[in-house]
Structure 1
Amino acid sequence: MRWALAASFIAMGLWILVPDKLDDDEANTSRSHFGVFGTTVVTFFLAEMGDKTQIATVALAARFHDFFGVVAGTTLGMMIANVPAILLGDRFAHRLPTKLVHGIAAVMFVVLGTMALFGVGV
């Protein structure tokens, strides 16, 4: 398992360095059926399914038997966690050089993969 984890982190770090290329169809965002809101809903839904947040939500709903309280609490918690990230991303997205951000992310993934490979921090 450690080898697979290390390999996947190192591979991800190297993959980040590959520049993104958009086809003409992909670059044309005006044809989107969902718009930015729908695309965000679908993407967020798929990314969040089965993670720790969902498991915690199920546990809270089972424990407290309060549908609206759990929905309101988890929604507010996710908004408190995500709104600052969205605001910072919007503010700095055009100021930060993409190559530098990709380079830093790639180094982080490779370092984490190397640490996993040698069992450092376990």
Structure 2
Amino acid sequence: MSGNSYYYGDNVNIHGGRGHQGIVKTQIGAGTDPSLSPAVVAAIAELHRMIQDLRTQVPAHSVQLIDESVPALTADAGVPAQERHRALMAVAGIAATVGAVGQPVAQAVQAIMGMLGG
């Protein structure tokens, strides 16, 4: 059976290129926090897309802070609510510093915070 390939889970092959950002997980899996509504899960997924655009518009030190915040911006049950809130606030703060370019991200964060009740 040589030549057969079996993949379970993620499989990523990158050949060449520059500026690879990694995998943005936006699917809902078994580890999704059951306390989050489908609307919140969808809003978080959209926020990830918007964050990728924002990263190209901010200075390197802000990109680093965004990258440090992204792991907490998931619908995973293992992310404490306080950590998710802190990450949302960090991204909103960065978005606010770049004016009109960051406004959609800031509004998305505000909507998510509203859905989360805080």
Q: TM-score range by the shorter chain?
A: under 0.3
Which of the pair has more CA radius of gyration?
1
Q: Which is richer in helix? A: 1
If the length of structure 1 is used for normalisation, what is the TM-score? Answer: 0.24
